[in-house]
Chains A and B, each alone.
Chain A
Amino acid sequence: MKLIYLYLILVVSFVFFSYLFIDTNLLYLKYFYTGFYYDQKFLVSAMYILFISAFFSFYIYILRGKLSPFLIKKLIIFSLPLLLSYPAILSFDIFNYILTAKLTFFHFENPYTVMPIEILNEPLLKFTRAANKFALYGPAWILLTSIPFYLGFGIFLLTMFLFKLFAALFYFLLLKIIYLLTKSKKSVLFFALNPLVIIETFVSGHNDVVMMAFAFISFYLLIKRKIMLAFLFIILSILIKYATIALLPLFIIMVIKVMRREEINIEKIGKWGFYSMLIIFFLSPLREEIYPWYTIWLLSFAALSLKNKFVFYLSIALSFGVMFRYIPYMLLGTYFGITPMIKTTVTLIPVIFVLVYFVFKNKWLKS
């Protein structure tokens, strides 16, 4: 029980920690601006490493123990204060979501033909990154963002927190679908409390949970033999961020099985969904790079396939490793130089450990 309150302290400390990262140009939060991150990059990076290690230690401890449903719910609720954190500690994407929504629903411009930077007098340009690109996300996402955008009534801070809350709602929807598919609390716990999922959703407000929620609704509807609705949701999912296009072969196989009235094995869906998304995950450097929040695609499928130890360990190792991809930029303030090399190393080391463990496991057991 005490441990749970320790978790709450960790979460609240992280919320305070996040405000050290306020961007110089973010006038809306100028009263909270300390410039601490810019002056103390080493200290901040060390603190970040400690936070991530603490979050993951706690996560592993929880996964190993037996928790009552009441405590699981409490743990998830105790993660909610993270919604109050400053979102651009690790990624500036949330500002991009807001600006793209503003471009579409306030300036009434097509975000696929006009870049935010073309609205020269737009105040959000001062702190939004990648403003020199056309919309990076699918039309379904842009349409959905109209909800938090209009509910924000043009007040930037309210809009910013509403975008985070919007992502959080899809996180809970995804938890519900994971439970409906697996009927396993451990699966829900595995996904719900993974520090990467929590930080990327509650802190950064990334839309990956939205894409995955639609994909999972689609699979759930397929199991319920509602093929047309399932098709609609998988298309919606693809039109959020395009990555779930990799799930189409799995979707077609499932449709065939449903039509033949064959039984659908959720464990297998989890396993093949995991590998399908893993391909896209490792292909992402072709477009830009492997971003830590892409691991949400893998973790959501791994939650369906917890009996598969390889998938289980690999997804945890990967989620742990990719959270360290933020450190070189945090420390050095550049995306160039040795930054890409460090990023690759921290991503691959935990994966290699898992691979080595599984290759030699049988030999060790025999000896």
Chain B
Amino acid sequence: MARPEFRIQNSEFRMKTRLLLVSLLSLFYLFPKIASAESPYVLPYPGIMPGNRLYIVKEIKNFLDKFWYFGDISQFKYNLSLSDEYLVESKTLFEYKQYVLALKSLEKSSKYYVNADKYIERALENGKDTTDIDNLYKNAGEKHGELLVKLKNEIPESFFWEAENEEGKNLLLHKEIERAIRKLR
């Protein structure tokens, strides 16, 4: 037969264990999902990359699409989709250390992103309800921002680029990325 003090200690231990379990369970039910910091917006596959012979075909198609996508909402979609496409292109080029090409693609992505906003305004001026495209634009901006911040942490601050028959130049990679981030909504 156990001594009385030991029995008391044992019951205290059991109570503490139960309390801990209940606390843990309540924590689990209070926060059932692990909140994700990532935006649900999905970026596209970049397709044909610069350097590929067929890249010019893709560029011509993108140019011609500008006329096919007539209308405010249509143009918004066109500009945002190109902004997404060039952003992923830029990311891939950064990863392969093709910094000159990567910066070019990043510049294009920013240009189309800013253009897309103009078409939201135009749609609004033309009496269209822009709630959906506005949200889409905001989500895209968040996703672009996430990707650019991540990219900034992975690449050097600057890079000295030397071409064969040209004068070398210092590429301020971080500054360019920051500039692109500033353009995001």
Contact = CB atoms under 8 A, between A and B. Distances in A.
Interface of A: 107-110, 112-114, 118-121
Contact of A113 (B77, B126, B131, B132): B77
Contact of A109 (B70, B129, B131): B70
13 contacts: A108-B71, A108-B126, A109-B71, A110-B69, A110-B70, A112-B68, A113-B69, A113-B71, A113-B77, A114-B74, A118-B73, A120-B128, A120-B131
Contact of A114 (B71, B126, B131): B71
B129 A107 contact: no
B74 A110 contact: yes
Contact of A121 (B69, B72, B73, B128): B128
Interface string B49-78: 000000000000000000011111110011
A264 B74 CA distance: 48
A113 B73 CA distance: 9
Contact of A107 (B68, B128, B133): B128
B69 to A, nearest CB: 5
Q: Please report whether the interface of chain A is mostly helix, strand, loop or mixed according to DSSP.
A: loop
Nearest to A104: B71
A110 B71 contact: yes
Contacts of A121: 127-129
B72 A109 contact: yes
A126 to B, nearest CB: 14
B139 to A, nearest CB: 16
Interface in B77-95: 77-78
Contacts of B131: 120
B68 A113 contact: yes
Contacts of B71: 107-110, 113-114
B71 to A, nearest CB: 3
Interface in B123-172: 126-129, 131-133
Contacts of B128: 107, 119-121
A294 B98 CA distance: 56
A107 B126 CA distance: 8
Nearest to B69: A113
B129 A108 contact: no
A110 B126 CA distance: 15
Contact of B68 (A108, A110, A120): A110
Contacts of B77: 113-114
Nearest to B72: A109
Given A109-B70, A109-B74, 10 more contacts: A107-B71, A107-B126, A112-B68, A113-B74, A114-B73, A118-B132, A118-B133, A119-B73, A121-B127, A121-B129
Contact of A108 (B70, B78, B132, B133): B70
